[in-house]
Each structure stands twice: as structure tokens, then as C-alpha cells.
Amino acid sequence: MTESAVKYGILVGVDGSPESDAAVRWAAREAELRDLPITLAHVVVPVVVSWPVRSFQADFDKWQEDNARQVIEQAQKRLTSLGQSEPSSVSTAVLHDYAVPALVTASKKAHLVAVGSRGMGAVGRAVLGSVSGGLVHHARCPVAVVQAEEGHTTDLTSPVLLGIDGSPASEAATALAFDEASRRHVDLVALHAWSDTGVFPVLGMDWQEYEDEGHEVLSERLAGWQEQYPDVAVRRRIVCDGLPTG
């Protein structure tokens, strides 16, 4: 993504929930690490009503817009109260669409999207489905899904965990993982699972053969990145359906 194509920097989906507040706190630290702006975005979901309550449509639309402003103002206050270095800029956006398509479209012009693991309330989740799940599958940039309790921690010393399956698709994840580990000055744990189908090893299977293949995959996929990021210490792990070895 070119710099001219980036509009939102770190895009944070906010809805007033504790998970949303956690995503704001997480994004503030990430913005400081990356020297990026933050955009606080709230999605106004279209609701069309029919007779006999159609006369209330205008009032409901106004309530949605007022609520959007209140949610964003609350998120701005959370950001201001953190007491950390301010990001280079903070902007806001009100998006009009269903939550997942709205944020997926916006992700095309963001470096990263951060959302809470839950939100919207029980009714909203039942109607809209999982916003975080939809983003993970369809967003056009990296996605951070933040648990409510994670937003309170300031510990940035944990290693970065990278899953590598040997496919070209894992290259983007590898690039992000090395960049994150380098910025945080932490180790990177590169993990390869030779099977993710839930089939346990059976008698006669040569685990050593699969382990050797796994090490070969990791060596091939990590070599260039380790040269590019010599400051990142890499720990390699091979697992067999959740059973670690080595």
C-alpha cells in the first residue's frame, strides 16, 4: 500500500463497549510504536422500518447519528486520558453500512484495523454476526482483535507468535511478525504444524520425517527475513496436532 493510498492510519472500530475501549488503548500504544495517526470510527447500521412505525424513522435516524457522536466522543476521551505520547493526529469517521462491509471497505485505506473481540450487545451480535470474525476473513490489511482485559496491560515484552504453513499466503504474516518483533524488541516464535486437520499420528507414521520437513519449511521461509531483521531473535517450534516437540 502506498502512502498516498493510506487515509486512516490505524483504524479503530468503536461502539462504546469495554472491548471497544480496550481496542482504543491498544491502538494508542501501536500508534506510538509506528508513529501513525489514529482514526476512531463508528458504524451506523441502516435500519428501515415499515408502517405503522415508519413515522418514527426520522427520529430514529437522528438518534443513531447522535449516538455515533457520543460514542466517538467517549473514545476520544479514553484516548486523551491514557497519558501517553499523543499520536501524530487523531481523526474520526462515521461510516454508514453494516459493520463488517463498512470496516472492510475502510480497511483498504488503513495500515491496520483494531476492534474489540465483542461488542454491539447481545442483540447486535445476533443480527450482525461476529464483526471481528468477518474482518479477520475479509479485511484488506492486518487486523488486531483485542480482548477487554488486554487493553489494560502495558506489558510489551511477550514474544510475537508467527504461524508458518509454507504457503505464499503466510509471507504477509511473516513480514508483519518480524516488523512487530523488531519494533517491540522482543523474540519471535515461528511455529509450524505439519497437520491442522485434527488427525492424530497413527502407528507406523514416521514423526521424525515430518519434523525434518517442518524444519526445512521454517528454514526456507525465515532465511531472508532473518537477514533483513538481524535484531530479532527467532525461536523455532514444530508441533504435531497440538503436541509440541523439540
Least confident of 109-118, 121-130, 134-143: 121-130
Boundaries of domain holding 211:
160-245
Is-contact 172 145, C-beta < 8 A?
Answer: no
Q: What percent of the chain has pLDDT over 90?
A: 39
Answer yes or no: do 200 and 138 share one domain.
no
* Distance between CA atoms of residues 169 and 156, nearest Å: 27
Is-contact 219 207, C-beta < 8 A?
Answer: no
Average pLDDT, the chain: 80
Answer yes or no: do 223 and 122 share one domain.
no
Is-contact 119 148, C-beta < 8 A?
Answer: no
CATH at residue 223? 3.40.50.620
Domain count, the chain: 2
- pLDDT tier for residue 6 given thresholds of 50, 70 and 90: low
Answer yes or no: do 127 and 173 share one domain.
no
Largest CA distance in the chain: 72
Q: What is the pLDDT of residues 23-58, one digit of tens each?
A: 999 999 899 888 899 999 999 988 766 656 556 667
- pLDDT tier for residue 202 given thresholds of 50, 70 and 90: low
Check whether 165 has a pLDDT greater than 50. yes
Answer yes or no: do 139 and 226 share one domain.
no
Strands 90-96 and 243-245: unpaired
What is the reported pLDDT for 221? 87
Is-contact 135 105, C-beta < 8 A?
Answer: no
Check whether 17 has a pLDDT greater than 70. yes
What is the reported pLDDT for 204? 53
Q: Which residue, 152, 180, 210, sits at the end of a domain?
A: 152
H/E stretch holding 168 reads: none
Q: Which residue, 106, 134, 152, sits at the end of a domain?
A: 152
Q: Please give the C-alpha separations between residue 121 and each of 54, 118, 128, 130, 134, in angstroms, as whole numbers.
A: 24, 8, 10, 11, 17
Q: What is the distance in angstroms between the CA of the first residue and the CA of the last residue of the chain?
A: 38
Answer yes or no: do 48 and 164 share one domain.
no
Check whether 123 has a pLDDT greater than 50. no
* Distance between CA atoms of residues 43 and 229, nearest Å: 38
Answer yes or no: do 16 and 80 share one domain.
yes
Answer yes or no: do 134 and 171 share one domain.
no
Identity of the highest mean pLDDT range in 14-23, 76-85, 86-95: 14-23
Q: Which residue, 122, 152, 182, sits at the end of a domain?
A: 152
- pLDDT tier for residue 178 given thresholds of 50, 70 and 90: very high
Q: What is the pLDDT of residues 231-246, one digit of tens each?
A: 999 999 888 765 544 4
**How many other β-carbons are positioned within 10 Å of the β-carbon of residue 156?**
13
Least confident of 45-54, 112-121, 181-190: 45-54
Q: Say which DSSP state 109 is in.
A: T
Q: Quick one: cell of 93? A: 469517521
Answer yes or no: do 43 and 66 share one domain.
yes
- pLDDT tier for residue 186 given thresholds of 50, 70 and 90: very high
Answer yes or no: do 78 and 117 share one domain.
yes
Answer yes or no: do 37 and 77 share one domain.
yes
CATH at residue 100? 3.40.50.12370
Check whether 136 has a pLDDT greater than 80. yes
Answer yes or no: do 145 and 236 share one domain.
no
Answer yes or no: do 98 and 119 share one domain.
yes
Omega before 142 within 30 of 0, i.e. cis: no
Check whether 128 has a pLDDT greater than 50. no
